[in-house]
């Protein structure tokens, strides 16, 4: 597992993360893109007129609602909540595979490179028409891994979900 902690204008500091849910915008290349800016109902994300600028997160305005996560075409926005007590943290990430993980199930959680970090529990799976087929999965994990865990080992499709059952 890699213990790289990202830095940038979209990354909240440790103090802010400890206070409650907040976005973590892991967008580090100058690509012409700004849907995150208008996705935020609280105006917490600023890209500006130069749409290749990296998104800047106002961590005081951000309440970690996660609406930006489903609008980012790069699937590069996560939310972290280190305020849930008992040494736990909740990490949310966009998810565009079937089947969706089951709420309450134990699941292997991975880092940005897909390497195993820790076991966790699927705390929540959010879907909405407005998300346009990008679900938000939230896992509950030991707090020390809140900036490492960014994905899960995807649950295997069951027979009925096989894209091509004849293959």
Interstrand relation of 88-95 and 77-81 (parallel, antiparallel or unpaired): antiparallel
Q: How many residues bind other proteins (CB under 8 A)?
A: 42
| Tokens coding 122 | 């699927």
Which among 13-21, 81-89, 126-134, 136-144 is the span making contact with other proteins, rule CB under 8 A?
126-134
CA–CA separation, 155 and 37 (whole Å): 32
Comparison of 30 and 60: residue with beta carbon closer to other proteins? 30
For other proteins, the binding residues in 2-21 under the rule CB under 8 A are: none
- Residue in 39, 84, 100, 125 binding other proteins, rule: CB under 8 A: 39
**Residue 108: which residues within 8 A CB-CB, separation 6 or more?**
116, 119, 120, 152, 153
**159 belongs to the binding site for other proteins (CB under 8 A):** no
Computed on alpha carbons and rounded to an integer, the radius of gyration of the chain in Å comes to 16
Please say which residue, 18 or 52, places its beta carbon nearer to other proteins. 52
Which run of H or of E encompasses 141?
strand 135-142
Binding to other proteins, residues 60-79 (CB under 8 A): 71-76
CB of residue 56 to other proteins, shortest distance in Å: 16
Which candidate, 148, 150, 126, places its Cα nearest to that of 136? 126
Calpha distance 91→44 (Å, rounded): 19
Binding site for other proteins (CB under 8 A): 26-35, 38-39, 50-52, 71-76, 93, 96-97, 110-115, 132-134, 150-151, 153-154, 157, 162-164, 167
């Amino acid at each position: 597992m890699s213990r790289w902690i990202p830095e940038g204008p979209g990354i909240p500091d440790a103090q802010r993360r400890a206070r409650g849910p907040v976005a973590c915008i892991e967008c580090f290349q100058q690509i012409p893109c700004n849907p995150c800016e208008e996705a935020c109902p609280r105006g917490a994300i600023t890209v500006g007129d130069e749409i290749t600028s990296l998104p800047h997160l106002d961590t005081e305005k951000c309440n970690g609602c996660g609406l930006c996560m489903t609008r980012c075409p790069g699937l590069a926005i996560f939310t972290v909540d280190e305020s849930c007590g008992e040494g736990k943290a909740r990490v949310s990430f966009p998810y565009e595979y079937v089947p969706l993980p089951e709420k309450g199930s134990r699941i292997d959680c991975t880092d940005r490179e897909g390497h195993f970090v820790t076991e966790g529990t699927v705390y929540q799976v959010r879907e909405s028409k407005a998300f346009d087929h990008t679900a938000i999965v939230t896992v509950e994990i030991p707090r020390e891994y809140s900036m490492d865990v960014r994905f899960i080992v995807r649950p295997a499709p069951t027979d009925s979900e096989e894209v091509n059952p004849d293959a």
